[in-house]
Structure 1
Amino acid sequence: MQTARVEEEFREYVRARGPALLRAANQLTGHPLDAEDLLQNALTKTYLAWDRIQDRAALDGYVRRAMVNINISQWRRRKLEEYPSDELPETVIVTDSAGGEVHERLEQALQGLPARMRAAVVLRYYEDMTEPEIARRLGISVGTVKSTVSRAMAKLRTELSPLQPPP
């Protein structure tokens, strides 16, 4: 009879406080599915300790502390799966002949652009410069940079369209 009372008290607590506790778990994990797992684990610990918790007003604190502790333990466990090493693994570089062809076609297409268009594209996408920086470098307005880069990219897209066979 005692067990039935404990189970009913616990069910009522979960019904009443479950949504708020799930929000707290979601804040801890940042992912809804992980939050559900975390809350389930914390509620399991709480149920096992239900008889030892004298102050029922402190239940939320107990569950939240359990969630924090479980989350930290899981984080530590994941962290220990990676071990430092003095030797780096050998990296295999796969050369794709088609990839080289794409770069070659891109170089050819760039060479086919007028000088200012080519300069604007190279400064924007290879040198990662902002439009104002390109405008200062080339001595043109920011609007001219935008339109020049836009027209150049349209030409490159047309030239490198996968529907066209390579020249």
Structure 2
Amino acid sequence: MRRRDEADFTEFAGAAIGRLRRTAYLMCGDWHRAEDAAQDALVRIYRRWDKLNRQNGLTTYAHKAVVSVVLDQSRRPWRREHTTAEPGDLPCPDAARTIDDRQLVIAALEGIPAGQRACVVLRHYADLSIEETAQVLGISIGTVKSQTSKGLLALRAQLGERTSS
């Protein structure tokens, strides 16, 4: 890789690592796994740096890489012991509101299937369009719409149960 390309990649990586890490965290619910996923995604980007369209496709490719890494991690045999949250396992908000709402949402995200979680995170956290989300996940636009809708319904059901208690 040329020096200029190396400098461009370093600048991109510095700017993107935080967002990639947060996206990975919302998908897996574990900061250590999210850190690993973000770093692995940057490695994938680095390997293809010379071939990537840096004007339009870089952000989309970065999201695709981090989503792919998180999904790959979840398929590894030693990761299967990690169970997703059951609705009864979610923390209950108390009257004093000491539990942060973010923790409720993160716990609820862990309770929905990976495909729905990926669509919800990419659409509503990463703020990708339906088309960009479809491209990142390698699925159709209709599938993005239905998975996002189902994921949001599941989140509302889980969060509604917790806040009405």
Structure possessing the higher relative contact order (Cα contacts under 8 Å, 6 or more residues apart): 2
> Is the TM value for this pair above 0.5?
no
**Superposition TM-score, scaled by structure 1 size:** 0.43
Of the two, which has the highest radius of gyration?
1
